[in-house]
Amino acid sequence: MFSCGWRQTYIDRRMVIFVLCILVKMANEIDRGPTDSDDYNLHDENEQLLETVVRYSSLATRKKPETLLLFGLSGSGKTSIVNTIFNELTGIPESALQAGSGSTQSKTLDFKWYVNCGILQENIIDSDLQSKIGAIIGNLPNIIDCAGKGNVNDEQTKEILRHTLTGRIPPGTSIAALEELQNKKGVGCLNVVLPPCNPEWAVTKIIFVQSAADSIPEQLLDMLHDVLSEHDDRLQTKFKASLFTVITKHDLVKEAGRDLYGSDQDATITAEDFQDKKDKLATALGIKNNVGDNCIPWASYSDTVRMPSPKVQNSVLKLLRQIQCPKPVEHTGVPLPRITLLQSWRLNLNAFFTTSSCRTYVLIFVICTLVAAFLWLIAKVHESPNTSSIVNHATGEQINSTGTQ
């Protein structure tokens, strides 16, 4: 009896120790960063993504590189995106491009152009990337990194955005100079001073850059939506650019208590808040139905996120895959002829007479005319002339009713 009780107590203690060990292991899994197994799985996925990017970039149907416009608030991380893409596709640990890191961010003041992501054959130092990326350098996208804007929706910014999308603003143009010219000469002056549209500069893809640490700039999004919704005089959409979004500073997000990037910086954003911001941004940009592919979480290399990082590489390759992915060929049909001056007049008249306010004015005018005519008739009926006259046909002289000539 004593032996059985002692054995039962021993088993109970072992069970308690076993359960405690499991709980400690689970806590360690939650607190620590990405595991080697996670990195291994990402490594396999990244290899497949790289092969897909190379295959899409090598298609015979690709006639010229895509042109990307990085658009967003100042300080949202646009230049860091360029640097991180350069890092991953060349294998260079530190980018030669000027970039802000940590709390100090560089500010782009002009239109910076990076042909083929700013990569040259001699820049690629990784042997594996030399054979894969080196073969498709000419088909890698061109990137326009323009000066960030505030949360505004004004005609000056709209004018600059329109000319950027159509390829009228040359690389290296100063944004401050354009805005100063607009302030002096008024909105519309850029249409006179800028060169004609250059197809090589025309934007094919827009990447809206949003920081996970900032609130969503609703006015800036409204302005972008207004410009992309404009039509020409043939009733066709002016701008054909596709829209994507990148949410930067994803390294500040804790998902299930795990640091995704092995960052030295403390996470300050919950996964729920990040997902809520992602959904709102996708809805505002009209990409809600395909948010998984067209909304990329992003962390750029900095003082807190160091290279190499399989997670950062995964984000870079996913973005490039979406950019390089071929689209179905759309049949645009025969565009409508341009509206002539006579048609424009007819349309204006039709619009004038069909509006509710115009109908009210016309009704008032008709009523006033009828009243005036009625009053004029009454005045004619009650008119009683003081004298009447007859004409002497023999002499041609006029004789009034009193008989005098």
Neighbours of 329 (CB within 10 A): 7
Tell me, yes or no, whether 193 lies in a domain. Answer: yes
Tell me, yes or no, whether 20 lies in a domain. Answer: no
CATH of the domain at 79: 3.40.50.300
The predicted-structure confidence for 335-344, as pLDDT tens digits, reads as follows: 666 667 777 7
Tell me, yes or no, whether 390 lies in a domain. Answer: no
Tell me, yes or no, whether 330 lies in a domain. Answer: no
The predicted-structure confidence for 157-211, as pLDDT tens digits, reads as follows: 999 999 999 999 999 899 889 999 999 999 999 999 999 999 999 999 999 999 9
Instruction: Specify the number of domains making up the chain.
Output: 2
Tell me, yes or no, whether 346 and 206 share the same domain. no
Tell me, yes or no, whether 349 and 298 share the same domain. no
Q: What is the pTM of this model?
A: 0.73
What are the contacts of 400-404 at 24+ separation with CB within 8 A? Answer: none
For each of the chain's 405 residues, which pLDDT tens digit applies?
Answer: 445 554 555 456 666 666 666 665 555 544 444 454 555 578 899 999 999 999 999 998 888 999 999 999 988 889 999 999 999 999 887 644 444 444 344 566 778 999 999 999 998 998 888 989 988 999 999 999 987 778 889 999 999 999 999 999 999 899 889 999 999 999 999 999 999 999 999 999 999 999 998 999 999 999 999 999 998 777 788 888 889 999 999 888 877 455 667 666 666 888 888 989 998 888 888 876 666 678 899 988 877 777 788 899 999 999 999 999 988 776 666 666 666 777 777 777 777 666 666 667 778 888 899 998 888 888 878 765 554 455 454 555 555 544 454
Tell me, yes or no, whether 402 lies in a domain. Answer: no
Tell me, yes or no, whether 314 and 216 share the same domain. yes
Reported as type and span, the H/E element at residue 171 is: none
Residues 6+ apart with CB under 8 A from 132: 50, 51, 54
Mean pLDDT taken over the chain: 80
Tell me, yes or no, whether 18 lies in a domain. Answer: no
The predicted-structure confidence for 242-289, as pLDDT tens digits, reads as follows: 899 999 998 888 774 556 676 666 668 888 889 899 988 888 888 766
Domain range spanning residue 115?
A: 38-324
Tell me, yes or no, whether 222 and 351 share the same domain. no
Tell me, yes or no, whether 308 lies in a domain. Answer: yes
**Distance between CA atoms of residues 115 and 99, nearest Å:** 17
Tell me, yes or no, whether 299 lies in a domain. Answer: yes
Tell me, yes or no, whether 241 and 351 share the same domain. no
